[in-house]
């Protein structure tokens, strides 16, 4: 592939029409013209892509085909583009994740598992390093944990029991084959084990390993077979210590329950050989039980294989297919999807690699792994060095269908607290789990005031359940109160939480014993007050991290995490500290929230304590293209300060920018609704006419108004509901004879709006004329104050390409639907188009030469 062809591929997603013309020209051009086109391509590549040789630009899957059921991450091509998700059918065809230690493999798995839980798709996580237990606080559904080889939570599984539906001879061959592979047995030792198993099954329907050992001991062998017998005995003795005896019926019921629940099996208590022995036979049982299910080729169960090279290793000289490769190949038909997680892709068998529909390659270091990852992803040799330069959390994704080119993804960080779920905490979790279905989650129940409302249990699936830390609800409320009101003394806390001094001191003592708070005395004049401060352990518990941003207060970080959990409980994905890209030094938004079904990142959350520049933050969020900005005030004082600042700046816009007091999420769906045309309609002439009609004829019903104004019922009701939603009118039913009529009464807000319209009507032309020379914009509030509807179209008259990007972004932020840029000549037109194309805005903007206009 030539350098020009590589450049055309990199430019095609950004300027497809120009690339198409270049290719057509190159097909028929003479050498002189071809050289000119090559120079133009090189010049364009440098202007659009910059130093393209150092950038990873693979391909850009179209936005319309990037949607699915299971969100993966954000597509990156020069800059973040849109969200990408897998379908359930694609996960049913298996997924492989490769990357060095620390590259983010487990984070990707956690991100997928969270969605599986929310979509009620059970999973089995075969955990080699005790990492999956840290996910337990994030799950509202039940998760069962087993620790084979350890007494913490024994694993009730006997690999020697034959699953129903499978012939005994077939299963015994599988057991012998897997045992020989795990413990490196020769043909002689395999023969000894096989004979011992047959003898054991003649004695018992569900033999134990002890029975098998006795059968080996009782065998009469010749001298040359003594070594085989010792080897077989050694293998059986080694594996016998890891598994408990259980009857066949109980094991079948247990396996059926695995297929209906979320399960984590911690394998670190087993030897390496015992792990290799258990996993294939457990999967064989799962496969056999699932065979009875009549549904086919629909994702019903997911198995996660960590350190997959132990069970899916490459065996170049093996003539027969291993059991695991066979199960991986056949599981799709039964609805069993597999997630293969491995550091070294070159160690995985070709059969396993060939049966994975989706491949995700994160950062790699070993040259052999880099070459293998490049081959799996179809990354060109000129780009494969990027595998060793990928940042943590980014990976190259390759699908086998839908979109067949590799592309770069940024995976969201799953915020887990490692180290909190110790064995003692896990023991309490298991102890309090009844029938795998009962978990006691707590809900936050803060004191209500004039603006605060309690959060219902359906909204607040809080992160940590009580059994993890052995706490009742009230001590945790006291801990939360310490975070929310850091300067208050004990008496004020107890009064706010309605605690007696005796109970309050008991709860405080418990927090001190658990090292969640410290206490100290603070002088207040002639007296002093006792104050509590949260410890590092409390921060980890409440925030889910090792610490917090040094630039932010604990109160700010606490409410940031808390609000994100509310959105996640309603199916949103969240990302903390999202970097804004619109403009220089745009900073970061506190929380970004979106849904996998949405192609844009829709909601920005800004947590305000009253100490930051809220006006600047909201403006930057709007310039970033957010459909909605929700400002969450942490207390009453902050609410009043933020409300005043946003109102003065003209940024309190219903449906686009809203401010709420902390934990006032009871009407979540109303808060997060998207009303893209709300601003246009609320300032429209029809709304003003309807409001004026209410003033002129206060006693008329709505249908009389519709007829007088020329509105049909559908349009009239839509405008009426719009006024009610935005608190401009209040409906009132009044009896008239035998019927009722609906009257509309103006609110103070509506009266103020009409007053502004009367005072400033007719001044819009003068105001526009004044602002054109100074290049200012008429924003939504200016149009509203002038008493006329905001136009759809904004026209920018430019003499050069300077500041065209910032001007266009400002126009979009002000709500203009159409923007026309008029320039003096074609040379400037090309420059403007290139700049707008570079940031992905060319399709939304029309650029004309003044003569054409």
Higher pLDDT residue, 329 or 584?
A: 329
Burial class (CB in 10 A: 0-12, 13-18, 19+), 165: exposed
Work out the average pLDDT over 483-489.
Answer: 72
Highest mean pLDDT among 280-284, 565-569, 848-852: 280-284
Mean pLDDT of the chain: 77
pLDDT higher than threshold 90 for residue 359:
yes
Residues shown for the chain: 853
Can you tell me the mean pLDDT for 338-353?
90
Which is higher by pLDDT, 196 or 455? 196
Instruction: Reply yes or no on whether the pLDDT at 101 is more than 80.
Output: yes
- Residue 338 binned pLDDT confidence (cut-offs 50, 70, 90): very high
pLDDT of residue 553: 63
Q: How confident is the model at residue 312 (pLDDT cuts 50, 70, 90)?
A: confident
pLDDT given for residue 814 in this prediction: 67
Mean pLDDT of 573-595: 78
Residue 682 has pLDDT above 70, yes or no: no
Query: Residue 493, CB half-sphere, CA atoms under 13 Å: how many?
Result: 28
Residues 617, 628 contacting (CB under 8 angstroms): no
Query: How many C-beta neighbours within 10 Å does residue 520 have?
Result: 10
* pLDDT of res. 434: 42
pLDDT band at 454 (very low <50, low <70, confident <90, very high): very low
pLDDT at 437: 38
pLDDT at 510 over 70: yes
Q: What CATH number should be reported for the domain whose range is 64-136+247-434?
A: 3.40.50.300
* Alpha carbons 601 and 331: distance in angstroms, whole number: 35
Is the model's pLDDT at 362 over the cut of 90?
A: yes
Q: Does 596 or 166 have the greater pLDDT score?
A: 166
* Tens digit of each residue's pLDDT (9 = 90 or more) over 1-13: 677 877 888 788 7
The more confident residue out of 52 and 162 is 162
pLDDT at res. 781 = 45
Which carries the bigger pLDDT value, residue 684 or residue 592? 592
Q: In whole angstroms, what is the distance from residue 808 CA to residue 814 CA? A: 10
pLDDT at 368: 92
Is the pLDDT at 361 greater than 90? The verdict is: yes
Residues 6 or more apart from 677 whose CB is under 8 A from it? none
Q: How confident is the model at residue 399, as a pLDDT? A: 92
832 vs 223, more confident: 832
Distance CA 803, CA 4 (A): 31
pLDDT value for 396: 92
Rounded to whole angstroms, the Cα distance separating 538 from 512 reads 11
State the Cα–Cα distance between residues 443 and 660, nearest whole angstrom.
20
pLDDT tops 90 at residue 98: yes
When pLDDT is averaged across residues 352-360 and rounded to a whole number, the result is: 90
Contacts 24+ apart (CB under 8 A), 586-593: 586/620, 586/623, 586/624, 587/617, 587/620, 589/617, 589/620, 589/621, 589/624, 589/626, 590/560, 591/560, 591/563, 591/564, 591/567, 593/564, 593/567
At 369, list the tokens. 């792994």
The whole-number pLDDT of residue 786 equals: 43
What is the CATH number that goes with domain 554-645?
3.40.1350
Q: 632-672: per-residue pLDDT in tens?
A: 888 788 888 988 888 887 777 766 788 888 766 655 655 66
For the domain spanning 478-543, the CATH number is 1.10.10
Reported as type and span, the H/E element at residue 395 is strand 394-399
Residue 681 banded pLDDT, cuts 50, 70, 90: very low
- Coil, strand or helix at 593: strand
Residue 37: half-sphere exposure toward Cβ, Cα within 13 Å: 21
Give the pLDDT of residue 550: 45
Tokens 């639907």, located at residue: 817
Domain extent listing, the chain: 3-54, 64-136+247-434, 160-242, 478-543, 554-645, 762-849
* pLDDT (0 to 100) of residue 683: 46
pLDDT classification of 429: cutoffs 50, 70, 90: confident
Range among 290-304, 680-694, 760-774, 828-842 with highest mean pLDDT value: 290-304
Structure tokens at 348: 């995985």
Contact of 452 with 446, CB cutoff 8 Å: yes
Q: What is the mean pLDDT of residues 746-757?
A: 72
Supply the pLDDT for residue 495: 84
Q: Where are the alpha helices (DSSP H) in 414-465?
A: 423-431
CA 828 – CA 144 distance, rounded (Å): 65
* Rg over CA atoms, the chain: 33
The residue with greater pLDDT, 388 or 584, is 388
pLDDT at 96: 93
Q: Give, as one character, the DSSP assignment of residue 664.
A: -
Most confident range, picked from 51-60, 89-98, 745-754, 820-829: 89-98
Q: Does the pLDDT at position 135 exceed 90? A: no
CA distance 301 to 671: 35
Q: Is the pTM of this model over 0.75?
A: no
Q: What is the pLDDT of residue 458?
A: 29
Confidence of residue 533 (pLDDT cuts 50, 70, 90): confident
């Amino acid at each position: 592939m030539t350098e020009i062809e590589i450049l055309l591929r990199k430019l095609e997603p950004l300027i497809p029409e120009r690339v198409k013309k270049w290719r057509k020209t190159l097909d028929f051009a003479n050498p002189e013209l071809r050289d000119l086109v090559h120079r133009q391509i090189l010049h364009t590549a440098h202007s659009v892509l910059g130093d393209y040789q150092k950038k990873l630009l693979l391909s850009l899957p179209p936005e319309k085909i990037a949607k699915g059921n299971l969100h993966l991450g954000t597509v990156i091509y020069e800059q973040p583009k849109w969200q990408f998700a897998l379908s359930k059918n694609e996960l049913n065809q298996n997924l492989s994740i490769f990357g060095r230690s620390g590259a983010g493999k487990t984070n990707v798995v956690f991100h997928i598992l969270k969605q599986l839980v929310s979509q009620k798709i059970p999973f089995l996580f075969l955990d080699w390093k005790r990492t999956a237990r840290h996910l337990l606080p994030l799950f509202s559904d039940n998760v069962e944990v087993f620790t084979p080889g350890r007494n913490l939570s024994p694993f009730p599984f006997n690999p020697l029991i034959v699953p129903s539906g499978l012939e005994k001879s077939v299963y015994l061959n599988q057991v012998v084959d897997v045992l020989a592979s795990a413990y490196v047995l020769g043909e002689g030792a395999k023969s000894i084990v096989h004979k011992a198993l047959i003898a054991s099954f003649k004695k018992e329907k569900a033999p134990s390993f002890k029975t098998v050992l006795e059968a080996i001991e009782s065998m009469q062998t010749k001298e040359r077979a003594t070594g085989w017998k010792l080897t077989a005995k050694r293998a059986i003795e080694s594996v016998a210590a890891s598994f408990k005896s259980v009857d066949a019926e109980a094991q079948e019921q247990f396996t059926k329950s695995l297929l209906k629940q979320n399960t984590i099996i911690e394998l670190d208590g087993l030897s390496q050989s015992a792990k290799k022995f258990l996993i294939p036979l457990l999967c064989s049982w799962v496969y056999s039980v699932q065979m009875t299910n009549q549904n086919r080729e629909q994702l019903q169960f997911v198995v996660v294989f960590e350190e997959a090279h132990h069970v899916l290793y490459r065996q170049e000289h093996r003539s027969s297919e291993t059991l695991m490769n066979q199960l991986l190949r056949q599981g799709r038909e039964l609805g069993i999807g597999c997630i293969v997680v491995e550091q070294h892709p070159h160690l995985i068998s070709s059969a396993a690699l060939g049966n994975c529909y989706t491949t995700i390659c994160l950062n790699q270091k070993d040259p052999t792994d880099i070459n293998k990852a490049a081959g799996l992803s179809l990354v060109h040799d000129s780009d494969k060095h990027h595998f060793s330069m990928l940042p943590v959390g980014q990976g190259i994704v390759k699908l086998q269908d839908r979109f067949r080119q590799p592309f770069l993804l940024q995976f969201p960080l799953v915020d887990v607290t490692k180290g909190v779920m110790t064995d003692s905490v896990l023991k309490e979790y298991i102890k309090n789990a009844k029938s795998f279905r009962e978990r006691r989650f707590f809900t936050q129940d803060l004191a209500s005031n004039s603006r605060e409302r309690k959060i219902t249990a359906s909204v607040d699936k809080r992160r940590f359940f009580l059994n993890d830390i052995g706490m009742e609800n009230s001590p945790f409320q006291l801990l939360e109160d310490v975070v929310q009101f850091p300067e208050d003394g004990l008496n004020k806390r107890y009064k706010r939480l309605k605690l007696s001094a005796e109970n309050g001191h008991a709860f405080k003592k418990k927090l001190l014993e658990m090292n969640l708070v410290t206490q100290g005395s603070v002088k207040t004049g002639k007296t002093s007050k006792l104050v509590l401060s949260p410890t590092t352990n409390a921060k980890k518990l409440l925030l889910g991290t090792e610490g917090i941003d040094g630039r932010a207060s604990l109160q700010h970080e606490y409410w940031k995490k808390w609000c994100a959990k509310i959105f996640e409980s309603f199916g949103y994905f969240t990302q903390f500290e999202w970097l804004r890209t619109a403009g220089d030094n745009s900073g970061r938004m506190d929380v970004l929230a979106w849904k996998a079904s949405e192609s844009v990142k829709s909601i920005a959350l800004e947590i305000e304590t009253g100490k930051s520049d809220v006006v600047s933050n909201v403006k930057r969020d709007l310039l970033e293209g957010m459909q909605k900005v929700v400002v969450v005030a942490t207390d009453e004082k902050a609410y009043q300060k933020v409300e005043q600042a946003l109102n003065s700046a003209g940024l309190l816009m219903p449906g686009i920018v809203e401010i709420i007091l902390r934990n006032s999420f009871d009407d979540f769906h109303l808060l997060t609704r998207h009303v893209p045309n709300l601003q246009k309609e609320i300032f429209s002439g029809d709304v003003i006419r309807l409001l004026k009609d209410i003033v002129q004829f206060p006693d008329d019903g709505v249908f009389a108004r519709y007829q007088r104004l020329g509105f049909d019922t559908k349009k009239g009701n839509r405008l009426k509901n719009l006024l009610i939603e935005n608190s401009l009118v209040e409906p009132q039913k009044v009896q008239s004879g035998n019927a009722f009529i609906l009257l509309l009464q103006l609110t103070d807000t509506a009266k103020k709006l009409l007053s502004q319209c009367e005072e400033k009507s007719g001044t819009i032309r003068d105001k526009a004329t004044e602002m054109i020379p100074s290049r200012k914009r008429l924003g939504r509030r200016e149009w509203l104050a002038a008493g006329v509807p905001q136009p759809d179209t904004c026209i920018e008259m430019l003499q050069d390409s300077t500041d065209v990007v910032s001007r266009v972004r400002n126009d979009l932020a002000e709500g203009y639907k159409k923007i026309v840029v008029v320039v003096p000549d074609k040379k400037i037109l090309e420059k403007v188009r290139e700049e707008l194309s570079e940031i992905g805005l060319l399709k939304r903007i029309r650029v004309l030469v003044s003569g054409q206009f």
